[in-house]
Structure 1
Amino acid sequence: MLRLRQRTKHLIYAALSGASIVVILFIIYLIMSQNHYKQTQKALEQKYDVEINRLKEERAKQMTQAWVAGRQIEAGEKLSITDLEQKEYPADRVPSDVIRSRDSIEGKITKITLKPNTLVTDSLLYEEEAATNDLRNREISFVKIPAVLRSKDVIDVRIQFPTGQDYIILSKKKVKDLKASTLTLTLTEQEILSLSSAVVDAYLHKASIYALTYVEPGIQLSAIPTYPANDQVLKLISKDPNILKRAEHGLSVTSRALLEKDLGALTPQTASEFEGKQVEYLQAAQQPGQTLQANESSNMGTGTGH
C-alpha cells in the first residue's frame, strides 16, 4: 500500500514536471513568435516608409509651386505679394514661363486684367522703366480726350492739321490723373518740347490735338512718334514765352467749346444708345477671343471725330 502511494506521488510529480516543461516551452514559443512578429512588422513598416518617402519625392519632383491672382487685378496695376496666393500644380501642367519666385513678381505690372485664380506667368507682366532725371508731370487741358477716358488709361496724343495730315506727338503715355478735361502725363524734356511745338503749331495753323486710347496697352507695342518738332516754332517760343500760354489757352477754350457743343447735342435717346453700347463693349471685353481690331477702329473713329 505504501509503495502504491509512493508510485502515485512519483507519477504526479512526473506529470507536473512534464506539464511545467510544456508550459515553459509554450511560453518561450510565444515570446519568440511575438519577437518575430514585431521584427517582421517593423521591417514591413520600414519598407512602407521607404516606399512612401520615394513616392513623396517623386510627387515633389512632379509638382511645382506657382502664384495665382487672389483677386481681380486690373491691367496696368502694380503687383504686390498680398494680391497673390501660392498654390501647387503638376509640373507638366503649367506653362514654361510660370513664375515661381516671389522676387520675380513683386513690383511688376500686369499687361492684362487678371481674374481670380489666374496663373501668373512672365508673359503677363512687365517691369516699369526706371525714372530718368528729366521726367516731369505735365497737366494738359488743351487735348481733346475721348468721352470714356479714365485715369490709368494709356493714350497716344496726336495732332491733325486742316490739310488732313495727322502726326503722333506722344506715344503710349499713361494718364496719371484725370480731372474734368485736364489730364496729367509724365513726360521727358524732349516730349515736353515736342508737345510745346505742337501746341503752337495747332494755334497758328488751326490744327487739333486729340488723344486716342490703347485697347490692350500691356500687349500692344507703342506707336512711333511721327510729329516733327518745328525749329521755327521752338525759336518763336524762346523769343516770346507768352505765345505758348496763349496757344494753350486758345486750344483749351476750343476743346471746351467742342465739348459743350457735343454735350448740348446729347439727347436722352442718344444717351440711352451710348449706355447700351458701353454695356455691350464691357461684355465683349470680358469674353476671350474678341477681335481687338474692331475696338481699336472704334477708338480711332472717336478720336479723329474730335
Structure 2
Amino acid sequence: MGDVYVNIEWNFKTIALIVLAALVLVGTNVGQYFVLWGPKQKAITVKYDNEVAVLQATIDKVGPLVGIWTIKDGIEGISPGKKVEESDLTVKEIPESFITQSFILDPESIIGKYYRVGISAGTPLSNDLVMVDPMDDTTREFDVVSSVMPIGLKIGDYVDYRIVYPLGEDFIVLPHKRVEAINDKTIKIKLKEDEIHYYQASLIDYFLQSDEGATLYLSKYVEPGIQKAAIPYYAVPKNILAIMIADPNIIKKVNAAINGTTRTIIDSGVSNVSPEDGAVIAAGRDEIAGKIDGGSSQLKSEEQANKDAIAKENAALPVPTPVPTQAPPASSEPLNKSTDKIETLPTPPTLNIGKGVVE
C-alpha cells in the first residue's frame, strides 16, 4: 500500500514538472512574440502596406493601358509619299499618361493619307508623320509626259514638273506633285484646273522649241514631307492666259501683269536662238537624255538580277521531310499527316522606270 502511495506521489510530481515546463515554454514563446516578433511583424506589415500604396499611386498616376497604332513588325518599304494602308498598321498598348494629342488612336483618321518621312517597323504613328495632298473640286488625275525621267523614280515620289528652254532658262511649271503611276515616259499626277492650263502651255512651248533643245523634265524631292513645295514660276502665252481668265472653274485668277513680264523673258530668250545654235543644243540635250535613260535601264537590270537571285536562292532551299507517325491501332481513326512549309523570302518590288525619249 505504501509503494502505491509513493508511486502516485511520484506521478503527481512528474506531471506537475511537465506542466510547469510546458507553461514556461509557452510563456517564453508568447513573451518573445509580444516582446520581439510582434512589433517586428507589425513593422514589416506597415512597410509592405506603404510599398503597396506607393505602387498603387504610381499605377493610378500612369493610368490604364491604351491602344495606339504603330507600323507592323516586319513591314518594309515605308518611304516618304507611300499611301497609308490598313495592312501596314498594328495596335500596341501604352500607359494612358503617355498619350499625347498627336498619337493615332483611330486608324481611319490616317488611312489613305501619305507618309511624310521614311518610317521603320514598330514606330508609333502620329499626325506629324502623315500628310494630305491638297484637293479641290477641280482636281483630276492627269497623264503627264516628260522628256527625261529621274533615275530610280518610283510611285509615291514627289516631283517638280519643269521646262528648260534652249538657252537654259529653267521654269517650274507644276511643283510638288505626287507620282501616282509610271508608264514609260508618262506619269500620272493630280492637277487642278489652273494647273491643267499650265501643263498644256508647257507642252506647246516644248513642241515649238524641242528642235532647238527645249526639254520637259522632272526633279525629285529628297524629303517631300519636310521640304517646302517650290513656288511655281512659269508664264503661259497670251491666248492661254485669256482662256484661264475666262475659265469659270478657276477661282484664283492669274495675275496678267506678272504673267506678261515673265512671258516676255521666255519669248525673248527663244527669239535669240539661231537655227544653227538650236541644232547643237538639241543634239546635246538628246545625248544627256540618252545617258539618263541608260542609267535607268541599268538600274532596272540590276534590280531584276537581284530579284532572280533571290528566287533562285529560294528554289535551292531543301524541302523538309515530314516526320513519320506511328501506325495507329486498327480500331482507331487514321491520323492526319501534315507537312511543314518553308516561308519564302519576300520579293522586292520592281521599280517601273520609263525608257526612251519623247520626240
Does TM, scored on the shorter chain, surpass 0.5?
yes
Q: CA deviation at 1:109?
A: 3.3
How far apart are the structure 2 equivalents of 1:135 and 1:148? Answer: 27
Deviation at 1:138, TM superposition (A): 0.4
> Pick from 78, 84, 99: which aligns with 2:83?
78
Which residue number in structure 1 is paired with residue 240 of structure 2? 233
Q: What's 1:9 paired with?
A: 8
SS in 2 for 1:74: coil
> Aligned pair 1:202/2:206, yes or no?
yes
2:202/2:236 contact within 8 Å kept: yes
The equivalent residue for 2:117 is: 112
- Given candidates 165, 168, 189, the residue that maps to 1:164 is 168
Same amino acid, percent of matched pairs: 22
Alpha-carbon contact 2:180-2:188 (below 8 Å) kept:
yes
Give the Å deviation of 1:31: 7.2
Q: Secondary structure at the match of 1:210?
A: strand
Would you say how many aligned residue pairs link Structure 1 and Structure 2?
249
Gaps of 5+ in 2: 246-281, 304-358
Q: Give the match's secondary structure for 1:102.
A: coil
* Cα distance, 1:131 vs structure 2: 3.5
CA distance in 2, matches of 1:235, 1:140: 23
Query: Distance between the aligned counterparts of 1:25 and 1:132, measured in 2?
Result: 97
SS class of match (1:190): helix
Q: CA 1:264/1:162 → structure 2, altered by over 3 Å: closer, same or farther?
A: closer
Letter in 2 for 1:222: A
Which aligned pairs between 1:102-141 and structure 2 lie closer than 5 A?
A: 102-103=105-106, 106-107=110-111, 109-117=114-122, 123=128, 125-129=129-133, 131-141=135-145
TM-score (norm 2): 0.52
CA gap 1:51/1:19 in 2 versus in 1, 3 angstroms: same
Note the C-alpha offset of 1:222: 0.7
Change (3 A) 1:61 1:216: same
**8 A contact 1:157–1:212 mirrored in 2:** yes
Whether the aligned pair in 1 keeps the contact of 2:197 and 2:240 (CA below 8 Å) is: no
After superposition, the C-alpha distances for 1:201-241 in whole angstroms (9 at most, x for unaligned) are 33344443221111221221110001123331355899xxx
Any gaps of 5 or more consecutive residues in structure 1?
239-256, 280-305
Could you tell me which residue of structure 1 aligns to residue 150 of structure 2? 146
Q: Aligned AA for 1:203?
A: F
Cα RMSD of the aligned pairs, angstroms, is: 4.9
CA distance in structure 1 between the partners assigned to 2:125 and 2:38 by the alignment: 51
Q: Is the 8 A contact 2:69 2:89 kept in 1?
A: no
Contact 2:140 2:190 in 1 (8 A): yes
Alignment of 1:39-78 (within 5 A): 41=41, 44-45=44-45, 47-48=47-48, 50-51=50-51, 54-55=54-55, 58=58, 69=71, 70=73, 71-72=75-76, 73-78=78-83
> Does 2:182 correspond to 1:187?
no
Is the Cα–Cα contact under 8 Å of residues 68 and 87 in structure 1 kept in the other structure? Answer: no
